[in-house]
Amino acid sequence: MSIAEELSALRDEALDAVVSATDLDSLEAVRIAYLGKKGSLTAVLRGLGSLSAEERPAAGKLSNEVRIALEEALTQKRSRLESEALASRISAQAVDVTLPGRQRMPGKRHVIHQVVDEIVQTFVGLGYEIGEGPEVELDYYNFTALNHPADHPARALQDTFYVRDLSGDRAVVEGESDVLLRTHTSPVQVHTMETKKPPIYVLAPGKVYRRDVADPSHLPQFTQIEGLVVDEGITFGDLKGTLEHFVKRMFGDVSRVRLRPHFFPFTEPSAEVDISCGICGGEGCRSCGGEGWLEILGCGMVDPNVFRHVGIDPERYSGFAFGMGAERIAALKYGIPDLRLFIEGDMRFLRQF
Amino acid sequence: MRVSLKWLSELVDIDVDVSTLCDRLDMTGTKVEAVHMTGATLDGVVVGQVLTKDPHPEADKLSCCTVDVGEAEALSIVCGATNFKAGDKVPVATVGATLPNGMTIKKAKLRGQVSMGMMCSSTELAVGGDASGLLILPEDAPIGVAYGTYAGLSDTVLELEVTPNRPDCLSMVGVAREVGAVMGSPFKTPASLPEEAGAPAAGAVTVRVDNPDLCPRYTARVMRGVKVGPSPDWLVQRITAAGARPINNVVDVTNYILFELGQPLHAFDLDKIAASGGKAEIIVRTAIEGEELKTLDGQVRRLAADTLVIADTRGPVALAGVMGGEDSEVSDQTVDVLLESACFDTSTTSRTSRRLGLISEASLRFERGVDPELAARASDRAAQLLAEVSGGTVAPGIVDVYPAAPEPCVLRLRGERLRAIIGAPITDDEAASILVSLGLTLEPAEDGFDVTVPTFRPDLVREIDLIEEVVRVWGMERVPSTFPGGRERVGALTAGQQRDLSIGVALRAAGLNEHIGYAFADPRDMERLGWELGPDEVPVELINPMSEEQAVMRWTLAAGLLRAVSYNQRRGAGDVHIYELGNVFVTAPGRKQPKQRLMVGGVLAGAWERPSWDQDARPLDFFDGKGAVETLLTELGVDRVKFRTSERAWLQAGRSADVIVRGDVVGWIGEVAPQVLDAYGATGPVTMFELGVAPLGKAGTRTRAYSEVPRYPSVNLDIALVVDEEVTSEQLVHAMTSAGGKLLDGIRLFDVYRDPQDAPAGERRLPEGKKSLAFSLSYRSNEQTLSDEVVRPVHEKLLAKVCRATGAEVRG
C-alpha cells in the first residue's frame, strides 16, 4: 500500500470515528487516537522523514491535508457536542416560573399614618411646619382659649374625657376637672401662637379623644389634622384656595369642593368643606346619603377672641384654621366600612395597604 | 328643626322648587339634613261612602257595612264605630294600606264576617285628635279619590341643622326671615292681639322674680273658662309636622307658638297654684338644696341649689325653662289657665337640663337664648289662639316683670375691613342690602355703616359677626380662591419629627407592621404585667372612662401590644409582627398635667411567613426581636449599645435584656413570661420590646463619617473557642477586638455549639459546663495584600491573649 493510499484510508477511518463519537469524552478519545503523541496519524507524519526526497513533498502535502481535515472535523463536532451539552444542561435547570417568588415582606405603614404623611407632604410643600401639643390637655387650651363658653355642651362629662387632677386645684366647671384628653387638635393652635410670632404656617396631626362608644362610624380615640395660618393680609379666599389645592392633591383633580357656612366657636366666618362624592360623582348615592357631597373638614378665619387670648393684634394679623379627621378621610379614600378596623391591630388589615 | 313647607309658605314667598331651596339653605349655613314627604303614608286610604249598615249577627258592638270606594264592587267592612249612618262619607283604608301608626290593613274575618278594609278616625290617620268615632267627611267628598289628595295633606318637611349661634332659626318665623334673606323674597311675622274681657289678670296673679339675672323677663296671662279637649285638625297637623305629639288644645297651642315664634310657653292650671288674698303667687327663685318636684314625665326630681324653679308659696311647680310639674298640669278638669311666657338664662337652663338628663323643646331653645322682647308678643298670640280653640276668655292685661330691657347693640362695619378679611370685591351696597334683608338697621358712617342689631340675633356682637353674615349670604362660592402670599415661611420637619419617621422606616424594613392602639389601659394591667412604676409615679386616671378596661391612660405600650397578639391569635392570624410609636403617660401626687413620653414598642409571634414550597416557617424568638431593635439602632446612628441580662416581671428570666446605650437603660427586650401570656390569652413564644424615643434621639446621629472601602483582599481565619457557659459572646468579641491590633478588620460569629443534654458520655465533644463559639476573623490592610506570613503571628498572638483573658481553649 502506498503512503497515499494509507493516508487516505486513515482519513476515512478517522472521519468515521469523529462522526460516530457521541459525546465530548469519546470525541477526545478519537483525537488522541489519531492526533495524540502516540496517535496513528502522528505516527504516519513521523514516518515521513524516512521517505525518499521525491516522495516526501507529495506525501507531506497529503498528510498535512488529512491532519487539517481531521482537526476541522474534530472542532466542528466538539462545538456541536458542546452546544448540545449546554442545551441539555439548561433544559434540565428549567423551573416552573409560576411558583411563588421568595419575598421578604417589609412591614407596612398604618393606613391612617399614610394619610397623615400624604397631608403633611402637601402642606410642607406649601411652606408649613409641623406643630405638636400634649394629648392630656388643660381645659384652658382645649376650650377657654378657643372661645368656648363655660357651659358649652362639648365640655359635658358625656362628651369629654376628664382626668383626675392631682394638684388639688378646684375645677373651673364644678364636678369636672381642668385636665382632660384633648377633644381636638385645635389646642395646638394656642400653643403655637403662644410660642411663635407670626408668620405662622403650621400643620398639627395627632390623637384626640371623645366619649363615643366604638362602632362602625365612631371611635373614642381618633386622629385629627389641624392647620393654622397667621400672617398679615390672610383672607378667606386664601383659606379656600389652600383647601381646594389640598383636596385635589388628596382625592384627585376630578373632585369638586364646596365651602358651606357653619359655626365653630374659634373661627369666624366658619365653614364646612364638602367634596363631591367619588362614588356617584355628585349625582347622589348611598355613600353620600343621596346628597352628592361628602363632608370632610371644618375651617374658618381665626376668631379675634382667640387672637386676644394669645396676645396677637387682630387688626394687624388675620389667619385661618382648619381641622379634619384622618380616619374619615382614609375610610372615604379606601372604602373602609368600619372605623374599628383602624385600631384593632388585625395583621390581615395592617398588611393590606 | 323640622320645617313644614306648607306652613313656611304662609310666612314667606317661595317661588323655587324644593331642591333649589335646599341648595341655597345649605350654601348659606342652614344645612338641610333630610327632606321628608308627608301624606304619602296615607297611600291606599280613599274616600268612601257607606251604602248599607247592618248589625253584626254575633256581636252587639260591631256593624257590617258595604262601602263604595269607587271600585266595581262595594267592599264589605266590619266596623266598631257608632257615629255614622248609611250615606255618610268616610276615609277608608283598603287592603294593603299602612297607617301612620304602622298598622297594615289585611283582609280579615271578624266573628265570622269578612272585612275588606277599615273605616278610619282622625287619630288613626294622624290628622286630628278625635278618636271617639269615624272621621265623617263633607257630603261633596269625591268617592274613590285618595284621601291625602282630597284633604290636601301632602307636605314636604325639611329637617334643618341649626347651628348653636342661631337660636332665631329654631322658629318658623326665624326660618322664614332667613329664607326671605337668602332668596330675596318678602316675609311676614304673624301677630295678633287677643280680645280681652272680664277681671284683669293683675287681680288674679302676682309674680315675683328673685333672680332677675337668671330670669330677665317673666310674663303671666290669665285665661278663664277654658274647655280642654282635642285640637282642631289644622293645629294637630301643624304641630305633628313640627315633630310634637298632640295632647290637648291648651298644650297644643303652647307648642304651636313655640314652633311658630320660638317662644316656649307653659300653661298652669290656675287653681293648682297656691293663692293668697285671692291671687295666685308665682315666685321665680333658685331651689333650696334637697327640694323635690314631680315633673310632667312622672319622675320625682331632687333639685340642686342652683336650679331655677317656678314656685308658689308651697314649693316648686316647674323647672324653669325645662319642664313643668305634674301637680299644676293642665287637665280635662282645668277651667282657668295661667300662661307663662318668660325668658330664662342660657347657662342655668343648660346646666339643669344636663344635670337631670331632661332635654325638651323648651330647654333646647332657652339654652341657646330666647329673645326677651318676644315674651309679651308670644303671650298675646297664644292667648288669642287659645280663645279660638278652647272657647275661653282672655283676662285683660299681662303681668310683666321685666326690670331691664336690653340696650340695643350698635356695631360698626367697615367696608375695607370686610373686603380685607374675605378677599372678595363685595361692595358696601351689597353688604348693606344683605344686612337689611336679615332684619338689621343701618346708618351710614364714615368708613362703612353703624348697624343696629335686633334682639332676636344675640349672636351678632362684633364686627366679625357682621362680616360672616355678609359673606354667607353673598356666597362663599363667589369668593376667589387664592394662596397666602407670606414671604417668610419655610416648610420643614424638625430633627425630632424626622427621627420619628426614621424609626418607622427602620422597623418596617425589619419586617414589622405599624399598629395604632388605644392610649387607654386597664388598671389591672399593672398586676397582670407585674409592672412597677417609678417612685411616686401613678397612672393617669380618667374620671369618666367608657369602661373599666379603659379606665386609665397607658404607662407602657406592652399591654396594648399583647392584646393585639391575642386578638390576632384568636382570629387565626398567628404570625404577628407589629410596632407602635406612641405616647405613654404617668403622673404624680400634686401634679396637674401628667408626664407624656414617646415610646416605640414592638412584638413578634409566630413566624415571618407561613411555610412555603421551599422554605420552612421558622418560629420567631428573642433574636428576631433583638435583630429588629439592632436594625432600628443602626438606622438611628446609635452606637455603644449593650444588651444586659435583666429580670422584669413580664419577661421570661434568662430570655430578656435591658437595652443600654452609653451606660443608660433606654428600654427592654425579651420573651414574654408564661403567666403574662396566660393573663392576656396569648400563646408564646412572644418577643416584645419597648424603648424610649427621646434617649434614642439623643444618642443617635444623623451624620455618617466616611470610612475607606477596602482595596485589598482580606485573609479569613476561623477559630472555635471552648469556654465556660458563663462567658458571653460579647466578652469574647471584646477580648478579640482589644487583642487584634489594627489588622483585625471584622469578627463574625458563625456557630454556637453545646453537647445535646441527653448525649451519652461517649458522644460528648465538650467538657461539662462548656460551650464552643466559632468565629470567622478577617484581617486586612489598606496598604497591601496580606500574606499568611504576616497574618499568622498576629492571629496567634490574638488567640493567646483571648484565651488568657477569658479562659478559652482553642478547639482542635
Tens-place pLDDT, residues B338-350:
999 999 999 889 8
Cα separation values, B367 from B106, B167, B348, B350, Å = 47, 9, 8, 5
B18 burial class (0-12, 13-18, 19+ CB within 10 angstroms)? middle
Task: Give bridge partners of residue B664 from the DSSP assignment.
Answer: B661
Residue B149 pLDDT > 80, yes or no? no
Distance to chain A for B342, nearest Cα, Å? 21
Q: Angle between the A236-251 and B415-422 helix axes, to the nearest 10 degrees?
A: 10
Distance CA A343, CA B561 (A): 12
- Contact with chain A for residue B315, Cβ under 8 A: no
- Chain B residues near residue A130 by CB distance under 8 angstroms: 493-494, 497
- Contact with chain B for residue A308, Cβ under 8 A: no
Domains of chain B: 2-39+155-179 (3.30.56.10), 40-151 (2.40.50.140), 201-401 (3.50.40.10), 409-475 (3.30.56.10), 495-699 (3.30.930.10), 715-810 (3.30.70.380)
pLDDT of residue B99: 84
Closest residue to A179, CB basis, from B589, B592, B608:
B592
Cell triple for B51: 251604602
> Averaged over B263-274, what is the pLDDT?
94
Cβ(B415)–Cβ(B474) below 8 Å: no
Closest residue to B508, CB basis, from A108, A223, A241:
A108
Distance CA B329, CA B191 (A): 27
Helix (H, G, I), strand (E, B) or coil at A318: strand
pLDDT of residue B782: 87
Q: Do A107 and B515 touch (CB under 8 A)?
A: no
Closest residue to B486, CB basis, from A123, A178, A231:
A231
pLDDT in tens, A136-162: 999 999 999 999 987 777 777 788 999
With CA atoms as reference, the chain A residue closest to B594 would be: A136
Cα separation values, A281 from A277, A285, A287, B22, B672, Å = 5, 9, 11, 19, 51
Residue A66 pLDDT > 80, yes or no? yes
- Contact with chain B for residue A226, Cβ under 8 A: no
- Contact with chain A for residue B540, Cβ under 8 A: yes
- Contact with chain A for residue B537, Cβ under 8 A: no
Q: Do B511 and A106 touch (CB under 8 A)?
A: yes
Cβ(A293)–Cβ(A258) below 8 Å: yes
Nearest Cα residue to A30 out of A87, A76, A62: A76
pLDDT of residue A312: 97
Distance to chain A for B438, nearest Cα, Å? 16
- Chain A residues near residue B568 by CB distance under 8 angstroms: 345-347
Distance to chain A for B351, nearest Cα, Å? 7
Answer with the residue of higher pLDDT: A299 or B125: A299
Domain boundaries, chain A: 3-92, 111-350
Identify the helix (H) or strand (E) that includes residue B300: strand B300-302
Residue B26 pLDDT > 70, yes or no? yes
Residue B233 DSSP symbol: H
- Residue of A347, A348, A351, A352 to mutate when probing chain B, most B C-beta within 10 A: A347
> Averaged over A65-71, what is the pLDDT?
88
- Contact with chain B for residue A209, Cβ under 8 A: yes
Please provide residue A100's backbone torsions phi and psi, each rounded to the nearest 5 degrees: -65, 145
> Averaged over B621-646, what is the pLDDT?
94
Residue A303 pLDDT > 70, yes or no? yes
Q: Do B512 and A107 touch (CB under 8 A)?
A: yes
Distance CA A133, CA B385 (A): 58
H helix runs in A48-133, sequence order = 55-92, 111-125
A111-350 fold: BirA Bifunctional Protein; domain 2 (3.30.930)
Q: Do B509 and A263 touch (CB under 8 A)?
A: no
Neighbour count for residue B139 (Cβ, 10 Å): 9
Please provide residue B516's backbone torsions phi and psi, each rounded to the nearest 5 degrees: -120, 115
Cβ(A112)–Cβ(B474) below 8 Å: no
B552 burial class (0-12, 13-18, 19+ CB within 10 angstroms)? buried
pLDDT band at A47 (very low <50, low <70, confident <90, very high): confident
Residue A333 pLDDT > 90, yes or no? no
Residue B243 pLDDT > 70, yes or no? yes
Distance CA B159, CA A232 (A): 40
pLDDT of residue A175: 62
Q: Do B519 and A221 touch (CB under 8 A)?
A: yes
pLDDT of residue B40: 61
Residue B38 pLDDT > 80, yes or no? no
Residue B544 pLDDT > 80, yes or no? yes
> Averaged over B319-339, what is the pLDDT?
93
- Looking at chain B, the whole-number percentage of residues with pLDDT higher than 90 is 73
- Chain B residues near residue A137 by CB distance under 8 angstroms: 593
Backbone dihedral region of A332: left (phi > 0), alpha (psi from -120 to 50 degrees) or beta?
Answer: alpha
Neighbour count for residue A142 (Cβ, 10 Å): 25
> Averaged over B732-751, what is the pLDDT?
91
Cell triple for B736: 478579640
Positive or negative torsion for Cα B70, B76, B78, B81: positive
Matching residue, cell 267592612? B77
Type of residue found at B406: P
- Residue of B479, B612, B635 to mutate when probing chain A, most A C-beta within 10 A: B479
- Looking at chain B, the whole-number percentage of residues with pLDDT higher than 70 is 100
